[in-house]
Amino acid sequence: MANFDAQIKESQEQVAQAQAKISTITSRIEAARTKMAAGESALDIENATLEDVKYHTDLMNANIAELIMGLDDVTAGFSEEFAEMRSKTRWESFVGVFSSARSDSLRQERMRTASVDDKLQDLIAKSDVIVRLLQGQLEMLNVQKARVEVNLGDTLSEREGAVSALEAVRAEVTAMDPRIIELENKISVEQDALVRTKLESDLAAMNAKYNALIQDEQVQLAKSQTLERYIEKGKTWVDSLTNQAATQLVLINKLQTDTKQRVVLYDALTSSLKTAQQQDVAHRINEIGVKTDQEAQVAMAAIGAATNDKMADMLESHEGNMIFARKILEDKAKADERFARRFAAIVEKHDKNAYGE
């Protein structure tokens, strides 16, 4: 489990780095919005930066996914460990050749001091640590997404205004073209110097207005293009944050379902272990046979009655336990399917032990 501790620490560092990178991009988007409001057109968000964040978050998620696969492996090993605990060790079997009672005593002491409970609780605790790590990342992603969406909403409204202003300028420019042509035609045929001068003055004023409109059109067009780039970058970032959040949800769902299954597994195996120990005790009492006195017979009767009561309770609760356990297994199958689909490459590496290839 020491390797898990190292991987968890590495994952925590990767999450911290990813969050710093994500926050930086969101801040850049907000800074770009502020610059545009001040009349500047710089948009300091490069595709390379977005790709760097994507690469880093993919690396982080791959590390956590491998952690989850490792926890699955450890959990699967509990069944074998419990089975070994139910059986006698070679030493206990050897001692049994000389003293059955001593052999049983050694086995009982080993079972009593077994640390399976601690190990399973440690495994569940590690799952909870990873879940909290993922939930913190998910909350951070949602906060960042909300920030960018607010900015995008404002920018979409602003671009709508910019496009409307651009269209209005273009309409005015289009309307002026025939009037300028008409004035130019009048000037070309006008013989009266005074009238001609007046027409030329009108044409000069109209050309000045036309040039101002053209300049305004260029400004509005540049503004619209800047806002469009900002919107596209913002949309790309929102999509990225949404996809990252979806990945976090898959990992969280897988881990939470696995934790429930581990609790069910522990309860089932512990009950099995206790039952095996009770059977051994009952078997030893039975071997005493005729050597037992009346008190032992009374104790036997009490044990029998208690055993029957316990058996009845177990039978009555069995249906509910089976329904619950079956639901956990169904939920786990669904969570595993989503996990395997999302992290197919990692699952394949794990199953084939193809690390480093």
SS3 of 87, please?
Answer: coil
pLDDT of residue 51: 78
pLDDT of residue 291: 46
Find, among 270, 350, 348, 352, the residue nearest to 73 by Cα. Answer: 350
Q: Where does the chain have alpha helices with state H? A: 2-37, 47-86, 90-98, 100-112, 116-189, 193-288, 294-342, 344-352
pLDDT of residue 148: 87
Q: Is residue 142 within 8 Å of residue 231, measured between CB atoms?
A: no
Based on its alpha-carbon atoms, the radius of gyration of the chain, rounded to whole angstroms, reads: 38
Tokens of 245: 């959040």
Place of tokens 């969101």: 26
pLDDT of residue 1: 54
> How far is Cα of residue 206 from the mean position of the Cα atoms in its chain?
62
SS3 of 168, please?
Answer: helix
pLDDT of residue 278: 52
pLDDT of residue 124: 79
Largest CA distance in the chain: 148
pLDDT of residue 62: 83
Is the full-model pTM beyond 0.85?
Answer: no
Task: Give me the average pLDDT of each 10-residue run along the chain (357 residues).
Answer: 74 86 84 70 60 82 82 72 68 78 72 64 81 88 89 85 87 87 84 83 88 87 82 85 88 83 70 56 47 48 53 50 64 76 70 60
